[in-house]
Structure 1
Amino acid sequence: MRILIVEDELHLAEALTQILKKHNYSVDAVHDGRSGLDYALSGIYDLLLLDIMMPEMDGFSVLKKIRNEGLSTPVIFLTAKGEITDMVTGLDHGADDYIAKPFSSEELLARIRAALRRKGEVVPDEGLKFGDIELNTANLRLSINGKEMKLNLKESELLELLILRKQAVTSKEQIIEKLWGFDSEVEHNNVEVYISFLRKKLTFLNSAVRISTLRGVGYVLEVTS
């Protein structure tokens, strides 16, 4: 899962980033509304944490433009005000939730999980299943028929993406944008390396699931008979 933080308080943005990374979310953070809008419109994020009062463009304006572009990405407003009028305005603009500063990390994580559930996504502390494999993204564990193996974070994120794509073909460009960010300089061979790692681990665990390559198109999960 990839989350965008749009928050002009640098210390808070950094603290949020560390909390989310600790729980195995991929995170980008920007510090003004205009940059937040540009990043959000890339369409690669599973959820936005959006401050209201920011330079260049306020959070309400950012959200309105996002929704006008047809993006349904869940949005949680971060607000220091906590006034009913702000809450109502945010919800009317298409926000999914709000959380008033200061807040605990436990409350924030719970609201993120709830927003992702409403969207229909599988949240990171639950098991993802496909064929005979089960992936726990909270502890980066891959389980197959009672056998278990630890993955690194990028391996887990890649397998999670392929599972959530539900047998749709996923291109190298989509993988790079989702795992490293749309402005990343990561090259295609980085994707190939992680695909190779995952294939070896699936083979080692005797899984019936394989990662198939559609030459020139991308990758797809399949279950062998």
Structure 2
Amino acid sequence: MSKKILLLEDDKLLAQTLQDLLVSECYDVTLVTSGNAAIDETYENRFDLYVFDINVPDMNGLELLESLRDADDKTQTIFISALVDLESISKAFKIGAQDYLKKPFFPEELLIRVNAKLASKSSNITYNSLEYNPQSKLLRKNGRALSLGETQEKLFDMFIQNIGQVLDRDILMECLEKPSPTALRVAITKLKRTTGLDIKNLRGIGYIIE
């Protein structure tokens, strides 16, 4: 059965491009152009993934996701937005988004992230000696359970579900209790030592594991 995606985007050209691409990959895509229309769809249908723009009519994407989370809707969510300020990005993750893609972007980049999110729901992720279940958050190293602290767990989850993708430093800092570039470097160094993740620092861009 095709995975169901609710796409909220009021730019008609971009919306049609994204819908066509996702449908070509055998996803079942419902397209809406306003926050209220998105709410109506979530009442009537169950989706495997939400892809929400933020600046849309009626109710913006952040308000929409916040109301869905308040209603105990835990559907994975990717934001696509021209808003690149840290406050917007920070709020997106605080209210429960799993990813944030800054406009402009190549449509294929969204497809990569959609594939990663939906594939991770149904299977474990393996990386060298690590095996991770994104739903239960159970991590094993060489077959033995490995426990991480809250900050390390958030960073690990973000890295392991985005292998091969550059993660913006500002987004990663939202995993920290007291965000700063220094605290992020320390946390990533500790994470590398604990898990063996091969995390590379792309100066001025972000971090990536390959």
Q: TM-score range by the shorter chain?
A: 0.5 to 0.7
Is 1:121 aligned to 2:127, yes or no?
A: no
What letter corresponds to residue 63 of structure 2 in structure 1? S
Partner of 2:75: 73
Instruction: Tell me which of 34, 37, 45 is aligned to 2:36.
Output: 34
For residues 112 and 56 of structure 1, the distance between their equivalents in structure 2, rounded to whole angstroms, comes to 26
Q: What's the CA shift for 1:42?
A: 3.2
Deviations 1:123-147 (A, max 9, x none): xxxxxxxxxxxxxxxxxxxxxxxxx
Deviations 1:101-157 (A, max 9, x none): 111122111111222244x235xxxxxxxxxxxxxxxxxxxxxxxxxxxxxxxxxxx
Partner of 1:192: none
Partner of 2:60: 58
Q: What's the CA shift for 1:38?
A: 1.5
Percent identity reads 33
What letter corresponds to residue 50 of structure 1 in structure 2? F
Highest CA radius of gyration, 1 or 2? Answer: 1
For residues 36 and 109 of structure 1, the distance between their equivalents in structure 2, rounded to whole angstroms, comes to 20
Note the aligned Cα RMSD (angstroms): 1.7
* TM-score normalised to structure 1 length: 0.51
**SS of the residue aligned with 2:97?**
coil
For residues 70 and 115 of structure 1, the distance between their equivalents in structure 2, rounded to whole angstroms, comes to 19
**SS of the residue aligned with 1:94?**
coil
Deviations 1:45-70 (A, max 9, x none): 11011010111101111001111111
**SS of the residue aligned with 1:76?**
strand
Asked if structure 2 preserves the Cα contact closer than 8 Å seen for 1:4 and 1:45, the reply is yes
Matched pairs, number:
122
For residues 39 and 74 of structure 1, the distance between their equivalents in structure 2, rounded to whole angstroms, comes to 16
What letter corresponds to residue 122 of structure 2 in structure 1? E
For residues 43 and 76 of structure 1, the distance between their equivalents in structure 2, rounded to whole angstroms, comes to 18
1:186-197 matched pairs, under 5 angstroms: none
For residues 119 and 102 of structure 2, the distance between their equivalents in structure 1, rounded to whole angstroms, comes to 21
Instruction: Tell me which of 4, 8, 11 is aligned to 1:9.
Output: 11
For residues 63 and 9 of structure 2, the distance between their equivalents in structure 1, rounded to whole angstroms, comes to 14
Instruction: Tell me which of 86, 89, 93 is aligned to 2:88.
Output: 86
**SS of the residue aligned with 1:41?**
helix
What letter corresponds to residue 19 of structure 2 in structure 1? T
Asked if structure 2 preserves the Cα contact closer than 8 Å seen for 1:41 and 1:66, the reply is no
Asked if structure 2 preserves the Cα contact closer than 8 Å seen for 1:97 and 1:115, the reply is no
Partner of 2:130: none
1:1-225 matched pairs, under 5 angstroms: 1-118=3-120, 120-121=121-122
Q: What's the CA shift for 1:9?
A: 0.9
For residues 13 and 72 of structure 2, the distance between their equivalents in structure 1, rounded to whole angstroms, comes to 32
Asked if structure 2 preserves the Cα contact closer than 8 Å seen for 1:43 and 1:71, the reply is no
For residues 43 and 22 of structure 1, the distance between their equivalents in structure 2, rounded to whole angstroms, comes to 21
Partner of 2:166: none
Gap runs ≥5 in structure 1: 123-225
What letter corresponds to residue 6 of structure 2 in structure 1? L
* TM-score normalised to structure 2 length: 0.55
